[in-house]
Structure 1
């Protein structure tokens, strides 16, 4: 196991910069997820760590050595790809043992490591099968087993669950997290799915347009987003954003552009007189007969919860209610907002002012 550090790392393809000075520290044994929309640079960063892409500037450290010029095979890492990358003419056992065979490991050592990894992943009864005889989840476990047998300092995962159906993705999330808890190997995992990031990571790195927007524990990012991008990206349904200003005579009241008055905990003097964005997560909007009116647009009962889209503050807002609400589109309901859960952002700079 080892620490991983990105120190002012940059990457350009020709004249086009795609990684713009990234600094990330990953502790020994930590499970870190790089998350962001397509094109943000997360997979490029992972490929640079793996040695599959050259870096344009900066340094990457694994343990106590800089690996900028170290070939991939000498970096002591193991990578699990999105498409499994299994050899179709080899059995499960042969696929898992192939990297050890290339290194010249003795057959007894190969068998020992393959059997140990198969036991961990529940593959012992499948060792004689070929990839075409396996389900998608089983193939992904074989790819993980191939990484485990190498006993690397760092595991790298490049969107490994993207090809699985929704139910299997949930199961595999738990398996990967349990595997990390058992092996305690430093892990860097790339995904565009913020639910994967929230449920699996010790630490999340949110990326956008080649830069790091925020680094922190999942609930820290959820409760204290640094800016509008993180606030909108982390959380499902996404945080509601309403434009407006504080009431100059009462700074605990936010006045939306359509005149709707919404509550705010004391935001501090620096928020007064600025164009703001009022952010509130859907679960912190509740039904209240004494609250402000809102027109229902869409109702989506899910069983345990009711998701609803309403007209609020000159736009649309998502609400998540624990109750089974029977309101129909076009009807009016009364709502309240937990002022202590409101975030205010500077509209121009995008940075959070308060929470």
Structure 2
């Protein structure tokens, strides 16, 4: 295991900069997820750490070594790709042990490492099969096994679950997380799926156009997003954004007055801003109370109901942890939970204030002694 340190790393393709002077410290034994929209530079960054892309400027350190100019084989890393990259003519055992054989390791050592990795991943009964005889999940396990047998300092995962169906992705992300908890090998994991990042990572790096928007634990990013971009990217369904103006009475937006703590409204009175509220932070109330919202679309999810609503001039999504017998055209009375709201500057998108800052109150979690 080893820490990974990136210092002022830049990457340029021709005249186009795709990574802009990025600094990052991945702790020893940490599971760090890199997330962001397509084209943000997350896979390019991972490939630079692996040595598959050159670094235009800056340095990359793994452990005590500067590996910026080293070949991939000399970096003591193992990478799991999106497409598995298995040799179709080789057995599972041969695929898993190929890198060790290529390095000239003794056959007995290769066999023992393959056996241990197969046992960890539940592949012991499949060692003589070939990739075409395996399911997608089994192929992914083989790709992971090939990485494990190398016993590297760092694991690199490049969107490894994107080719799997939804149910298998859930199973495999649990297996990858369990594997990390067992091996405690430093892991960098690239994904466009923020749910994967939230459920698996110790910390998340949110990238946008080659720059870091925020680094933090999943709950830190969810409860205290640094700006509107992070707030929109983290959380499913995404946060609602309602433009308007702060007043001493509350947040005025398109004919409705949304709740703000009195001190916050007074402090920012007259300032244009964007009110952020997550779908799960609406509560229903009796007619005559709260704010009237017209139902536009009903999406039943079994134990939950998701509604698209017209609230004043804004369209919002509300998520209720119950079954509702609502239909398009109905009017519901809602109240945003003001303590869970956020204010973002209308121009810069930077978060002005969140109510409250403590995670426990924002999500209604009791503090554990």
Q: TM-score, normalised by structure 2?
A: 0.94
- Tell me the equivalent position of 1:262: 258
Deviates more, 1:124-133 or 1:270-279: 270-279
Give, in whole Å, the separation in 2 of the partners of 1:156 and 1:51: 11
1:339 corresponding residue in structure 2 = 338
Counterpart Cα distance in 2 of 1:237 and 1:118: 38
User: Contact between 2:243 and 2:275, CA under 8 Å: does it hold in 1?
Assistant: yes
Equivalent positions of 1:305-324 (< 5 A) are: 305-324=304-323
Q: Distance in 2 between matches of 1:160 and 1:271?
A: 45
Long gaps (5+) in structure 1: none
Counterpart Cα distance in 2 of 1:6 and 1:267 = 39
Superposed, 1:203-282 pairs within 5 Å as 203-247=203-247, 249-250=248-249, 253-256=250-253, 258-265=254-261, 266-267=263-264, 270-282=267-279
Q: Which residue does 1:297 correspond to in 2?
A: 296
Once the two structures are TM-superposed, the CA of residue 315 in structure 1 deviates from its matched residue by 2.0
Asked if residue 18 in structure 1 is aligned to residue 15 in structure 2, the reply is no
Checking the alignment, whether the CA contact within 8 Å between 2:121 and 2:141 is kept in structure 1 is: yes
1:108 matches 2:108: yes
* Counterparts of 1:57 and 1:181, CA distance in 2: 34
Within-5 A mapping of 1:136-215: 136-215=136-215
Q: CA deviation at 1:274?
A: 1.7
Q: Tell me how far apart the structure 2 counterparts of residues 225 and 94 of structure 1 sit (CA, whole Å).
A: 46
1:23-38 equivalent positions in 2, closer than 5 A? 23-38=23-38
Deviation at residue 270 of structure 1 after TM alignment: 4.9
CA contact (8 A) 1:271 1:353 kept: no
Tell me which of 281, 284, 292 is aligned to 1:284. 281
Q: List per-residue Cα deviations over 1:90-145 (Å, max 9, x = no partner).
A: 00000000000001011100000000000000000000000000000000000000
Q: 1:111, 1:301 → 2: CA distance?
A: 52
Q: Is the 8 A contact 2:273 2:344 kept in 1?
A: yes
Aligned to 1:2: 2
Q: CA deviation at 1:272?
A: 2.5
1:259 offset after TM fit, Å? 1.6
CA separation in 2, counterparts of 1:346 and 1:270? 14
* Other-structure match for 1:326: 325
Q: Distance in 2 between matches of 1:209 and 1:186?
A: 25
Offset of residue 271 of structure 1 = 2.5
Any idea what the Cα deviations from partners look like across 1:242-281, whole Å, max 9, x if unmatched?
Answer: 000012x43xx1000x121110124275532221000000
4+ runs deviating over 2 angstroms: 265-273
Task: Report the counterpart of residue 71 of structure 1 in structure 2.
Answer: 71
Query: Structure 2, unaligned stretches of length 5 or more?
Result: 355-369
Question: What is the CA deviation profile of residues 327-348 of structure 1, one whole-angstrom value per residue up to 9, with x for unaligned ones?
Answer: 1101100001111100000010
Per-residue deviation at 1:312? 1.6
Contact 1:267 1:353 in 2 (8 A): no
What is the rounded CA distance, in whole Å, between the counterparts of 2:281 and 2:245 in structure 1? Answer: 20
Write the distance in 2 (CA, Å) between the matches of 1:313 and 1:65: 58
Give the 3-state SS of the residue equivalent to 1:267 in structure 2. Answer: helix
Aligned residues: CA RMSD: 0.9
Q: Secondary structure at the match of 2:144?
A: helix
Deviation by residue 1:307-336 (Cα, 9 ceiling, x = unmatched): 011012412101011121111101100001
The SS at the match of 1:140 is helix
- Are the aligned partners of 1:275 and 1:347 in contact in 2 as well (CA < 8 Å)? yes
Do the aligned partners of 2:251 and 2:265 also contact (CA within 8 Å) in 1? no
Structure-2 separation of matches of 1:313 and 1:131: 56
Contact 2:246 2:265 in 1 (8 A): no
